[in-house]
Amino acid sequence: MILRSSKSKWLEVKEFEGVKIKIDYPTIEQAENLREKFFQIIFNNPNYTRDKDSERIELTYEQKAKEKRLLGEIAKDTIKYCVKDWEGITDEDGKTIACKVINNELEKDLFESFIGNLEYHHLIKIGDLIEDEIKFTEADKKK
C-alpha cells in the first residue's frame, strides 16, 4: 500500500538534520488502540479539532492536561507502531544505532531510549508527520 506523499515510505524529519524514518501502516489492533485514545480526547473535549483556526471551548486545567497527555500517548504509539527503520539516529558517541522492529513495533528498550530523548513538541511533530502520511481521506475510502 502506498502512503500519501511518500512512495518510498521514507520521511525526512526536518526537526533533526539528516534523520529519516521509514514508516508503514499500523496493524488493525494497533490502529484500534490509537483510535481508542483519540476517542478519549473527544470524550474529554467534544469540540476537539486539530484545526487551529476553529472555535474551541475553554477547557479546565485538568481537561487541558488530559488532552496534552493523550496527544503525547498517541504520538508515542504512532512512532512505536509505524516506524520500521531509520537513518541518522546516533548515540551520544556518534555511533549509528540500528533500528529493531519486533512483532511489528519498535523494540521496547530502543523505543523508550528514542522517545526519552525527545522534547514534547518534537514528539508531537514526529507523530503528526507520520499520521499525515497514514491517514485516510474520504477519497481514499472510496477507492
pLDDT higher at 140 or 42: 42
Task: Tell me the residue ranges of DSSP E strands in 32-91.
Answer: 83-87
| DSSP structural state of residue 129 | H
Report the distance separating Cα 60 and Cα 68, nearest Å: 12
Q: Please write the tens of the pLDDT for every residue from 52-86.
A: 554 566 788 888 899 899 999 999 999 999 999 99
Exposed, middle or buried, 121 (CB in 10 Å: 0-12/13-18/19+)? exposed
Residue 124 pLDDT > 80: yes
